[in-house]
Amino acid sequence: MRVLGIETSCDETAAAVLVDGRLRANVVASQIDLHARFGGVVPELASRRHLERLPFVIDDALAGAGLALREVDAVAVTCGPGLVGALTVGVAAAKAIAFASGRPLIGVNHLEGHVYANMLEHGEIPFPTVALIVSGAHSDVVFMAEHGSYEVLGRARDDAAGEAFDKVARALGLGYPGGPAVERVARDGRPDVVSLPLPFPAETSYDFSFSGLKTAVVRAIAAASDGPEFSANVAAAFQENLVRVLVAKAVRAAEERGARAILLGGGVAANSLLRTRIEAEAARLGIPCFAPPISLCTDNAGMIAAAGWFRLRRGLRSSLRLGAYADLDLGAELPETGRTEQT
Ligand code: KG4
Ligand code: ZN
For residues 171-192, average pLDDT = 94
Query: pLDDT above 70 covers what percent of the chain?
Result: 98
**Ligand 1, atom 7: nearest CA belongs to which residue?**
136
**Ligand 1, atom 3: nearest CA belongs to which residue?**
298
**Ligand 1, atom 23: nearest CA belongs to which residue?**
179
Q: What is the position in ligand 1's atom list of the atom closest to the CA of 169?
A: 14
CA distances from 178 to 182, 186, 190, 274, 333 (A): 6, 12, 19, 16, 33
pLDDT at res. 201: 63
Residue in 165, 170, 272, 303 to alter for ligand 1 test, most ligand atoms within 8 A of Cβ: 165
CA distances from 277 to 57, 241, 299 (A): 36, 12, 23
Query: Which amino acid does the sequence have at 156?
Result: A
pLDDT at res. 38: 87
For residue 141, give the nearest of 25, 245, 28 by alpha carbon: 245
C-alpha 34 – ligand 1 centre gap (Å): 17
What backbone torsions phi and psi does residue 175 show, to the nearest 5 degrees? 85, -170
- 15 and 302 Cβ atoms separated by less than 8 Å: no
For residues 96-104, average pLDDT = 97
- 274 and 243 Cβ atoms separated by less than 8 Å: yes
For residues 154-164, average pLDDT = 96
Distance, in Å, from the CA atom of 313 to the CA atom of 114, rounded to the nearest integer, reads: 18
Give the predicted TM-score (pTM) of the model. 0.95
- 317 and 105 Cβ atoms separated by less than 8 Å: yes
Residue 202: pLDDT band by 50, 70, 90 thresholds?
low
Residue 342: pLDDT band by 50, 70, 90 thresholds?
very low
User: Which residues have any ligand 1 atom within 6 Å of their CB?
Assistant: 10, 135-137, 162, 165-166, 177-180, 183, 266-268, 270-271, 298-299
